[in-house]
Structure 1
Amino acid sequence: MRPWSRELWRLGLLACAGGLVGWLFSAFELGLAAGLGVFIFLHLRQLRALHRWLTRSPQAEPPAANGLWGELFDRLYRYQKGQRHTQERLRTTLKRIQESSEAMRDSVVMLDEHGDLEWWNGAAERMLGLRTSQDRGQHITNLVRDPRFVAYFTARDYREPLTLPSPIDERIILQAQITLYGNDERLLMARDITRLHRLEQMRRDFVANVSHELRTPLTVLTGYLETYADNADQLPPRLARGLSQMQGQTTRMQNLVNDLLLLSRLELEQSGDDHLPLDIGALLENVCRDADALSAGRQQVTVEIAEERTLLGSEQEVRSAVSNLAFNAVRYTPEGSHITLRWKRHEHGACVEVEDDGDGIDPEHVPRLTERFYRVDKGRSTTTGGTGLGLAIVKHVLLRHDARLEIDTRPGHGALFRCVFPATRLAAANEQGSRVRRA
């Protein structure tokens, strides 16, 4: 018989016994009430024992009882024992996680949904200057006050890491990355990249210095080659045959040095000083004429202007980016192709597009197109005359203008390179117009 059924039988027996005794004394109701009172008293005594056990010594053995209360005590005791084992296992796991986090060289900071500090490891104290006794509960931007970090934190776009100096030592360079988890909580991780930053700076300085030093000898060589070319009829035939090749390779080397210097300047200099409203329509017209000269009639170049707003930026840098895209289209599309330079509205602001109907590019190459010296077809570098730095220059120019590069291409369906500028980079809109110029 189940404990609950036994309790019902016990209640019935006590009620019957009380009623019988009361009936013998001509007080049936009083006897019935007495029987029910005894039943309630027994349960209240067990309830008192349960209360004392739970409030005074829940980890001790449960009180002795039988029936329903005995099973209840046993179940509660087993449940508490299981909970203690689970809590102990969780405490052990949490302790190991904290110990492993403390052993990490990277900073780990846990933030709540408001951005307040909850927990951090020892590396965060050394890199970010956090103090356990004073900073717990503080907002992270009250302690890491770099404007770039504040903007990064509030923008909630954590796809890319942020590089910034340590708030306690500017000689230490950190790379910070925030991850969202749980109920809008954040995990901030920062690693010391001072050594990598110095190596990258050394590389940039080396490239800039070597490129600068190469300009003088190349200028001398170009001058002598031009002199020899003017007097080619007086040179021995064997020397005259190699003169044009020497001039071509010298020109190619000069273009490479110029691109390296431009790329180094884009990486090292701060942007913004020369940013003025630009007439993109006029700029595209000028680039179109240069593309026509490079094409020599092999392709048809068109300019389409469907956006009248001006762009706030550096004319030299934007012209360099658009020129690289247009010249690549001329170099890498077959004869008879059509190339379009376009300035139009975009859902995020406005964009410059360079589109062609050439052979297109395999999508597997797209993620690496902006790498330095990366070529889809390494065998055609000498025939096209490119330096392999054009798209890297485009990438850095767009970064300095808060813009991004989108590439849409498939083999046999041409290529579309889109430079998307945010609305904050555009001047007040005039009436929208549209004009097309065919080269």
Structure 2
Amino acid sequence: MSLWKRELWRLVLLAGLGLATGWLLSAPAAGLAAGLAACLAFHLYQLRALHRWLTLNPQAEPPAASGLWGDLLDRLYRYQKGQRITQGRLLGTLRRIQESSEAMRDSVVMLDRHGDMEWWNSAAERMLGLKASHDRGHHITNLVRDPRFIDYFHARDYREPLTLPSPIDERMILQFQITLYGDDERLLMARDITRLHRLEQMRRDFVANVSHELRTPLTVLAGYLETYADHADQLPPRFARGLGQMQQQAHRMQNLVEDLLLLSRLETDRGGEDHAPLAMDELLDSVRRDAEALSGGRQTVTVEREEAASLVGSEQEIRSAISNLAFNAVRYTPPGSRIVLRWRPHPEGACLEVEDDGEGIDPVHIPRLTERFYRVDKGRSTATGGTGLGLAIVKHVLLRHDARLEIESRPGQGALFRCLFPAERLSAPSESPRSVHA
């Protein structure tokens, strides 16, 4: 018999006994009420026992009861026991996570959906200066107040890390990385890269200094070679042949030094002082003429421009970037190829494209094309006079203009180099573009 039926029979039995007793006393209604009251009193007693157990000592064994109340108390006890076991496991897991986070050398800060700090490890206290006594619950931008970090935090584009000095020690360089998880919560990690930053700065200084020191002797050497070349008819034939090769290699070394110096300046100088709206028609026409001069009529170079706002940037740097892309297209496409310089609108803002219908590039090389001195075909690149730094220069110029480079190419299908500029880098219609001189 089920528990519900047993309780129903108990109710009927008590009501029947009360009714029978009342009938014998010539008060059947009062007897029925007394029977029902006895049933109610029983349930109220069991309910009181349940309440006392849950409020006073829920960890203890449940009070003894029979029937439906006994089954209910047993189920509650098993449920509480299961919850305690689960809670213990979760607490143990959380404790291990905290212990492992404490053992990390990197700072770890947990932020809620509003950006308020909930928890952090000891490394965060050392690197960021957090104090549990008064920083918990405060917004992260109240601590890291650098405008670059505030922009990075609110942009919600955390694909790339951000490098900044520590808010408590400018000599310490930190790399910040934010990860979204859960209900729009954030995990902030900060890594101390001071040593790597110093090594990188030493490398940049070394390259810049060596390039600067090489410029003068190369200029002298090239000058003397040019003087000797003017009197090549007076030299033995075997000397004349070597003189031509020396001039070619000296010119190549001069180009390499100039590109290294430009890269060094792009890496160390924050720039922005010469940014202004540019006349893209004149800029593209100027680069087209230079590309045609380099081509010598072997390729066809054209300009296409759709209605797009003017770009706000450095004339010298943007010219360098698009010239490198155009000159690469001239160098690495066969005679008869068509090269297009294009400025057009884009859903993200606007884009500057250099497209050719040449031999194309194997996709396996594309991720590494912007590395210094990376060459798809070393023999052909050397023969065409390239330095291997052109696309590295393009990448750094675009980074300084909040833009990025996209490359689309397949063997036999040409190549498309697309420079994507955000809407913030475009001039308002009322602004007049600055003239670009060839």
Same fold (TM over 0.5): yes
- Which position in structure 1 is the counterpart of 2:363? 363
SS at match of 1:319: helix
Q: Within 5 Å, which residues of 2 pair with 1:79-158?
A: 79-158=79-158
- Which position in structure 2 is the counterpart of 1:78? 78
**Does residue 38 in structure 1 map to residue 38 in structure 2?**
yes
Structural RMSD (CA): 1.5
Alpha-carbon shift at residue 263 of structure 1 (Å): 0.4
Q: What CA distance in whole angstroms lies between the structure 2 residues aligned with 1:384 and 1:73?
A: 88
Q: What CA distance in whole angstroms lies between the structure 2 residues aligned with 1:50 and 1:430?
A: 78
- Which position in structure 1 is the counterpart of 2:434? none
Which of 259-268 and 21-30 deviates more?
21-30
Q: What CA distance in whole angstroms lies between the structure 1 residues aligned with 2:31 and 2:149?
A: 81
**Does residue 289 in structure 1 map to residue 276 in structure 2?**
no
Number of equivalent positions: 431
SS at match of 1:427: coil
Q: What CA distance in whole angstroms lies between the structure 1 residues aligned with 2:383 and 2:216?
A: 26
Q: Which residue identity does 1:147 align to in structure 2?
A: P
**Does residue 10 in structure 1 map to residue 31 in structure 2?**
no
Deviations 1:201-255 (A, max 9, x none): 0010011111111112211221221122112222222222222111111111111
- Which position in structure 1 is the counterpart of 2:331? 331
Which of 199-208 and 377-386 deviates more?
377-386
- Which position in structure 1 is the counterpart of 2:380? 380
Alpha-carbon shift at residue 308 of structure 1 (Å): 6.2
Q: What CA distance in whole angstroms lies between the structure 2 residues aligned with 1:375 and 1:215?
A: 24
Q: What CA distance in whole angstroms lies between the structure 2 residues aligned with 1:161 and 1:228?
A: 53
Gaps of 5+ in 1: 432-439
- Which position in structure 2 is the counterpart of 1:235? 235
**Does residue 169 in structure 1 map to residue 172 in structure 2?**
no
Q: What CA distance in whole angstroms lies between the structure 2 residues aligned with 1:76 and 1:278?
A: 75
Q: What CA distance in whole angstroms lies between the structure 1 residues aligned with 2:86 and 2:256?
A: 66
Q: What CA distance in whole angstroms lies between the structure 2 residues aligned with 1:343 and 1:306?
A: 6
- Which position in structure 2 is the counterpart of 1:251? 251
Which of 371-380 and 121-130 deviates more?
371-380
Q: Within 5 Å, which residues of 2 pair with 1:175-190?
A: 175-190=175-190
Alpha-carbon shift at residue 422 of structure 1 (Å): 2.4
Q: What CA distance in whole angstroms lies between the structure 1 residues aligned with 2:98 and 2:200?
A: 34
Alpha-carbon shift at residue 430 of structure 1 (Å): 7.2
CA contact (8 A) 2:308 2:350 kept: no
**Does residue 69 in structure 1 map to residue 77 in structure 2?**
no
4+ aligned runs moved over 4 Å, structure 1 = none
Q: Which residue identity does 2:362 align to in structure 1?
A: D
Q: What CA distance in whole angstroms lies between the structure 1 residues aligned with 2:294 and 2:239?
A: 28
Give the TM-score taking structure 2 as reference length: 0.95
Q: Within 5 Å, which residues of 2 pair with 1:192-271?
A: 192-271=192-271
Q: What CA distance in whole angstroms lies between the structure 2 residues aligned with 1:214 and 1:95?
A: 59
Which of 344-353 and 213-222 deviates more?
344-353
Q: Which residue identity does 2:95 align to in structure 1?
A: K
Alpha-carbon shift at residue 416 of structure 1 (Å): 1.3
Aligned residues: percent identity?
78
Deviations 1:358-391 (A, max 9, x none): 1112222222211111122223222121111101
CA contact (8 A) 2:308 2:345 kept: no
Alpha-carbon shift at residue 326 of structure 1 (Å): 0.1
- Which position in structure 2 is the counterpart of 1:340? 340
- Which position in structure 2 is the counterpart of 1:414? 414
Q: What CA distance in whole angstroms lies between the structure 2 residues aligned with 1:9 and 1:145?
A: 74
Q: What CA distance in whole angstroms lies between the structure 1 residues aligned with 2:377 and 2:14?
A: 98
Q: Which residue identity does 1:23 align to in structure 2?
A: W
- Which position in structure 1 is the counterpart of 2:436? none
Deviations 1:308-363 (A, max 9, x none): 64322111111100100000000111110000111222222222211111111222
Alpha-carbon shift at residue 146 of structure 1 (Å): 0.7
Q: What CA distance in whole angstroms lies between the structure 2 residues aligned with 1:326 and 1:150?
A: 37
Q: Which residue identity does 1:132 align to in structure 2?
A: A
Deviations 1:406-429 (A, max 9, x none): 222222221111122223222233
Which of 275-284 and 136-145 deviates more?
275-284
Q: What CA distance in whole angstroms lies between the structure 2 residues aligned with 1:39 and 1:202?
A: 90
Q: What CA distance in whole angstroms lies between the structure 1 residues aligned with 2:31 and 2:309?
A: 99
SS at match of 1:135: coil
- Which position in structure 1 is the counterpart of 2:435? none
Which of 56-65 and 24-33 deviates more?
24-33
Q: What CA distance in whole angstroms lies between the structure 2 residues aligned with 1:86 and 1:347?
A: 50
Q: What CA distance in whole angstroms lies between the structure 2 residues aligned with 1:279 and 1:308?
A: 11
CA contact (8 A) 2:356 2:415 kept: yes
Alpha-carbon shift at residue 104 of structure 1 (Å): 0.8
CA contact (8 A) 1:344 1:352 kept: yes
SS at match of 1:257: helix
Alpha-carbon shift at residue 193 of structure 1 (Å): 0.4
**Does residue 300 in structure 1 map to residue 278 in structure 2?**
no
CA contact (8 A) 1:174 1:194 kept: yes
Q: What CA distance in whole angstroms lies between the structure 1 residues aligned with 2:154 and 2:76?
A: 48
Which of 65-74 and 101-110 deviates more?
65-74
Q: What CA distance in whole angstroms lies between the structure 2 residues aligned with 1:412 and 1:339?
A: 15
Q: What CA distance in whole angstroms lies between the structure 1 residues aligned with 2:343 and 2:44?
A: 85
SS at match of 2:324: helix
Q: Which residue identity does 1:126 align to in structure 2?
A: R
CA contact (8 A) 2:407 2:415 kept: yes
Q: What CA distance in whole angstroms lies between the structure 1 residues aligned with 2:430 and 2:133?
A: 57
Alpha-carbon shift at residue 157 of structure 1 (Å): 1.2
SS at match of 2:134: helix
Cα distance change on mapping 1:37 and 1:309 into 2, 3 Å? closer
Q: What CA distance in whole angstroms lies between the structure 2 residues aligned with 1:318 and 1:123?
A: 42
Q: What CA distance in whole angstroms lies between the structure 2 residues aligned with 1:92 and 1:348?
A: 47
